[in-house]
Amino acid sequence: MRGEPLDAETIVSATEEILRRHGPDKTTVLDVARQLGVSHGSVYRHFPSKAALREAVIRRWLDQVRDDLAAAAVNFELPPADRLRTLLTAMFATKWRKAREDPELFATFRVLAAEHSTVSSNHVAFLVAQVQAIIADGVASGDLTAGDPEVTARAVLNATSRFHAPAHAAEWQFPEIEADAAAVVSLILDGLRAR
């Protein structure tokens, strides 16, 4: 049995390792407990369910992405349209890289997104807020024309979902995906630019 105290971060790290080894469908709380040398009850004291444990892993995984995307959104040296292009391009590239380089955790993210989990919903809210802030800045400066920036931000994310929504991950292997993404972003920006 384990000699040192058990904390949530240790459990999350062990779960992440097991998810990478076995994927979301085959990972159980018992596997995590075995890896840590504790009873499954010890894991449940920190996380009430397997779903809560998976959410903690993916929350930490997405937090690594959040800083990069936030940095792309706040480069105020660029005009708003270029900031939006930079943010969307970074978002697509990050999701594509995660799907390619960390397929097991990406598969876990896909499961949570399909379940409309809290962590998935929070990630979407973060993306909407980033896009909304850029659109609001563009409207304020007169560079972009749009109605309600939040509604427009949601529309932008919906229009680009093929390039960032986990349900479309199989399409990200197509050779034309980058060109398709660039064309859609250009079309959106052309529609948002003030005339």
> What span, in angstroms and rounded, lies between the C-alpha atoms of 180 and 162?
10
* 173 burial via Cβ count (<10 Å: 0-12, 13-18, 19+): exposed
Give per-residue pLDDT as tens, 146-187.
789 999 999 999 999 999 999 999 999 999 999 999 999 999
CATH class of 8-46: mainly alpha
For 121, half-sphere exposure in the C-beta direction (CA atoms, 13 angstrom radius) is: 4
Give per-residue pLDDT as tens, 101-151.
999 889 888 888 888 788 889 999 999 999 999 999 999 999 998 789 999
> What span, in angstroms and rounded, lies between the C-alpha atoms of 192 and 194?
6
Give per-residue pLDDT as tens, 70-108.
877 777 788 999 999 999 999 999 999 999 999 988 988
Domain boundaries of the chain, sorted by first residue:
8-46, 50-192
Helices (H), 28-148: 29-36, 40-46, 50-73, 80-101, 103-114, 118-141
Say what the pLDDT of residue 43 is. Answer: 94
| 169 residue type, one letter | A
Which of 23-27, 47-51, 135-139 is predicted with the least confidence, judged by mean pLDDT? 23-27
Residue 2 — very low, low, confident or very high, per pLDDT cuts 50/70/90?
low
**How many contiguous H segments (helices) and E segments (strands) does the chain have?**
9, 0
CATH of 50-192, one of 3.40.50.970, 3.90.1150.10, 3.30.2270.10, 1.10.357.10: 1.10.357.10
Average pLDDT taken over every residue of the chain: 91
Say what the pLDDT of residue 62 is. Answer: 87
> What span, in angstroms and rounded, lies between the C-alpha atoms of 162 and 144?
24
Question: Cα–Cα distances in Å, from 108 out to 23, 87, 165?
Answer: 7, 24, 13
Q: How far is CA 151 from the centre of its chain?
A: 20
